[in-house]
Structure 1
């Protein structure tokens, strides 16, 4: 039982897990921004392409 408590105490003091979670959240935010940007640019290009085809 003492060994389990020691392992649990070491796990609680370890900050690598917290850093991993922080980087994961940051990666999620960046990916969301990239996907939103690509979607908006794609919509804009599609509108310009349609306008060009109509003009021709």
Structure 2
């Protein structure tokens, strides 16, 4: 009975760790999306200037 309780607690902690990692990944994804949304037009303008300086269309 004690062994069953130990296994149950171990599995519960393992699941909790996976949830924490998932939350960290979601937070990183949200931060990246916000940064790209804010800087997307500026990056596009830089590439447009580079293309026109190189003689592209």
What residue number does 1:15 align with? 2
**Stretches of structure 2 lacking an aligned partner (at least 5 in a row):** 44-57
How many matched pairs? 43
**CA separation in 2, counterparts of 1:55 and 1:31?**
36
Question: Shift of residue 51 of structure 1?
Answer: 1.4
State the superposition RMSD in angstroms: 1.2
TM-score (norm 2): 0.65
**CA separation in 2, counterparts of 1:24 and 1:51?**
41
Runs of 4+ in 1 over 4 A off after TM superposition: none
